[in-house]
Amino acid sequence: MSVKKRADHNSTLGEQESFSNAMAKIEPPAHVLLRDCDWPFWYAITAVRASNSWNDTDLAKAANLARCQSDIERLAQEIEAEGDIIKNDRGTHIVNPKHTLLETLSRREVAISRVLHVHAEATIGRSRDSGNRSVAQQEKRSSVDGLIGSGLIPGMEH
């Protein structure tokens, strides 16, 4: 029995595999339905892992996460429009009950993200390592800021 060997990410074959994974649009399993409002979240979620690392069980969970994130966005907009405090049927001012639902969905989002390994630590690394990345980014930003308006980068004026 032969075992398929994974391509080394530094090799040409590994680069081709990485490019193919990056270009692949992953679709949910046939038995999973997404609403129109869920698709942007679906594509963002499925883009953080290599396309060949998803199985149908993970994709069903990813669909759940996409629906959850879509609902969070909708509820946040509704709360923004209605306000944090609303009047109930008796005219009493109360905390908007949508806050409770938003909290529940936010906790669900975190749990599903951890299960799927699409949370920040899994995708960008440990937070204690972010200091070095931040310093490097700041240095690059300073370099670019120095070039803006210098005429060295076409179209980049203050």
Residue pLDDT, tens place only, 58-80: 999 999 999 999 999 999 999 99
pLDDT category at 90 given cuts 50, 70, 90 is very high
List Cβ neighbours of 154 (8 Å cut-off, separation of 6 or more): none
User: If you average pLDDT over residues 18-31, what whole number do you get?
Assistant: 76
Give DSSP secondary structure letters for the chain.
Answer: ---PPPPPTTSHHHHHHHHHHHHPPP---TT----GGGHHHHHHHHHTS-GGG--HHHHHHHHHHHHHHHHHHHHHHHHHHH-SEEE-TTS-EEE-THHHHHHHHHHHHHHHHHHHT-SHHHHH--GGGHHHHHHHHHHHHHHHHHHTTTTSSTT---
Contact 74, 37 (CB under 8 A): yes
3-state secondary structure of 122: helix
Enter the tokens of residue 60.
């069903």
pLDDT category at 136 given cuts 50, 70, 90 is low
In this prediction, residue 126 carries a pLDDT of 62
pLDDT category at 30 given cuts 50, 70, 90 is very high
